[in-house]
Amino acid sequence: MKQLSLMLKPASSLCNMRCRYCFYSDVSSLREQASFGIMPPETRKSILEHTFSQLDAGDSVTIAFQGGEPTLAGLDWFEQMTEEISCLAVPGLRVSYALQTNGLSLDKQWTAFLKKNRFLVGLSLDGPREFHDICRPDVFGKGTFSRIAAAKKLLDRCEVPYNILMVLTNSLARHPQQIWNFLKKENIGYVQFIPCLGPLDAEMSKYALTPRRYADFYTQLFEYWFPEALNGHFRSIKLFDDLLNLLARGDETACGITGKCYGQLIVEADGSVYPCDFYALDTWCLGNLKASTIRQVYEAPQMSAFCSRPRELPALCGSCPYFHICGGGCPRMRSEVFCSPKDGFCGHRTFLDAAFARLEHLARLL
């Protein structure tokens, strides 16, 4: 039985917001062609054919849509895509959908489509208005909090499952209590904090998270979360979930959580494929799904080269009691979450020093 995950970028790096810290805008700017525009129908058809021809009854495939802002491809594009998949999928093949969106395009028609096709939505919302609007303006420089909050209410009303995606900037990480209160006030049951990354080939951004802020934020947030979780009032925070899954069952439910790169399939709007969303660069292009099958792309030499590229681990890793479950962490996130090779401080280790025993206790209960 095969389990396949595919991330499509139907609108490439196009977006109707101008987030101050956008990592994909930085990544795409380093390619020869920054944006491939909207994915043409013929490209979509070839991608789907070269994917579903490799899948059989009993297999499962998850197709996630990301950007830029994927909804800019239009609702018609998505409706045609699901119709094409229904024709290509063999009986017994399990197909799941996920959409990461800033929410600006969501309306009743969109939510009806998402519910009908059982999409899981990741909605970007950076906490209370005073934090969100500073970092996530629209193309005219206006704050977007009110519109995203309205989109959240619409998803609630239409019973579309979603989780909140909150970019953890260095500034936002100073306010764990306000963020916790916001989660409770807005009845947010599922949240993923995404460490804000600095540019790949430039000086560190003022928005980029630092290991010390990472440690302070999660250590304090854990103090609010743990007593409620212990009493059965479980609020899903992705990092805590991932660590519990790892400790309880050995499941790696987040890419890079044990320091290994397994390679992903990130498909740009022209059909080109990359092994990681953080490295969707010309150097690491695996091929193009307009001409190659999923198996051929996954077995491309660049995939094994990417996953086995040399890593310089910080000296602290040598004496770390958590190295067996961390492995030095995701290489792209290391300087924001963990530490640089010469640093004497690791944010993840500091957090685990405070939380590990209690995480182990919850894992045993699981």
Q: Which residues contact 161 (CB under 8 A, 6 or more apart)?
A: 119, 120, 121
Identify whether the C-beta of residue 16 lies closer than 8 Å to the C-beta of residue 69. yes
Identify whether the C-beta of residue 176 lies closer than 8 Å to the C-beta of residue 220. yes
What 3-state DSSP class applies to 85?
helix
Q: Which residues contact 65 (CB under 8 A, 6 or more apart)?
A: 7, 8, 9, 10, 78, 97, 98, 99, 100
Catalytic, out of 277, 282, 343, 353: 277
Q: CA angle, corner 73, sides to 70 and 79, nearest 5?
A: 100
Q: What are phi and psi of 355, to 5 degrees?
A: -115, -15
Identify whether the C-beta of residue 51 lies closer than 8 Å to the C-beta of residue 75. no
Give the Cα separation of 300 and 152 in Å (integer): 40
What 3-state DSSP class applies to 196?
coil
Give the Cα separation of 99 and 199 in Å (integer): 25
Q: Which residues contact 160 (CB under 8 A, 6 or more apart)?
A: 111, 114, 115, 119, 121
Active site residue 277: yes
In one-letter notation, the amino acid at residue 208 is A
What 3-state DSSP class applies to 58?
coil
Strand ordering across the sheet containing 3-8: 236-237, 190-195, 162-168, 119-124, 94-101, 60-65, 3-8, 266-267, 272-274, 287-288
Give the Cα separation of 356 and 121 in Å (integer): 30
Active site residues: 277
